[in-house]
Amino acid sequence: MKNIIYLLAICFLVPSIAYSQKPEETEVWTPEPKLITPGINPQAPPSDAIVLLDGKDLSNWSDLKQNPAQWTLENGVMTVAKGKGDIKTKQGFGSCQLHVEWRSPAEVSGSGQNRGNSGIFLMGRYEVQVLDNFNNRTYSNGQAGSIYKQHIPLVNACKPPGEWQTYDIIFTAPKFGEDGSLLSAARVTVIQNGVLVQNNVELKGETVYIGQPKYTKHGEKEALVLQDHGCLVSYRNIWVREL
């Protein structure tokens, strides 16, 4: 009987406590979010973005040896130059929001991994695969939208070859201790052509072609790398927001 009386008292007491509070007591006014201006369309960079490729020049890019990037630039579009190697940003980035538009060649050549292959390496180490997977089967953890050899995309959201595609990537950089130990793993969300294909997945380590991925301590900010895989993949409108 005492337990019943106690429970009844609690039931009446909790609502009375809640209603005794004022709504202002749970309103948070500081800090105030910074005001920015969104892009005029979802692909346009917002006012606080760092524009890495605006179609005018390749001044924000170099090859892996710090020499000027040798990829081609025509009509605002940057295209892989076979054999010239990967290119990287001159500026380093950690956690970020990244927007990339890419296009595989309209003229289909090859199959599997040899068709429209490139890649976006966050911090130069963690690859979001770029590949023409429109009616082109390959291993699931290596197709477009995959975190290469780690996470299969939720769906295949590829457009036909020759059409522009978008990646909007949210990347949380890993954190390391002074002794090189991993404190927190990297995480990635990828939206391809407006469709969620990676949902805040945890990375197992750096991208490797053979074997299992693992982490090695690196800087808090590292260059973004685009891959020359021997296919004439094109890029445009690349911008990033540091988080």
In order of their start, the domains of the chain are: 34-242 (2.60.120.560)
pTM: 0.88
What pLDDT band is residue 42 in, cutting at 50, 70 and 90?
Answer: confident
| Residue 49: predicted pLDDT | 97
Is residue 136 over pLDDT 60? yes
- What does the pLDDT read at residue 184? 98
| Cα–Cα distance measured from residue 18 to residue 58, given in angstroms and rounded to the nearest whole number | 59
Q: Which of 37-41, 49-53, 234-238 has the lowest mean pLDDT?
A: 37-41
- Summarised one tens digit per residue, pLDDT across range 170-221 is 999 999 999 999 999 999 999 999 999 999 999 999 999 999 999 999 999 9
Q: What is the pLDDT of residue 237?
A: 97
| Res. 24 pLDDT band, cuts 50 70 90 | confident
- Residue 14 confidence (pLDDT): 52
Secondary structure of residue 239 in the 3-state scheme: strand
Residue 7's pLDDT is what?
53
Q: Is the pLDDT of residue 10 over 80?
A: no
Residues above pLDDT 70, as percent of the chain: 92
Give the pLDDT score at 167: 98
% of the chain at pLDDT higher than 90: 81
Inter-residue contact 218 to 137 (CB < 8 Å): no
Overall residue count recorded for the chain in this entry: 243
Contact 50, 64 (CB under 8 A): no
DSSP state of 25: G
| Tens digits of residue pLDDT in 225-235 | 999 999 999 99
Query: Using CA atoms, how far apart are residues 132 and 103, in angstroms rounded to an integer?
Result: 9
Averaged over 66-71, what is the pLDDT?
96
Given a cut of 80, is residue 15 above it in pLDDT? Answer: no
Residue 17 has pLDDT above 90, yes or no: no
Can you tell me whether residue 18 is helix, strand or coil? helix
Phi/psi at 114 (5° precision): -100, 20
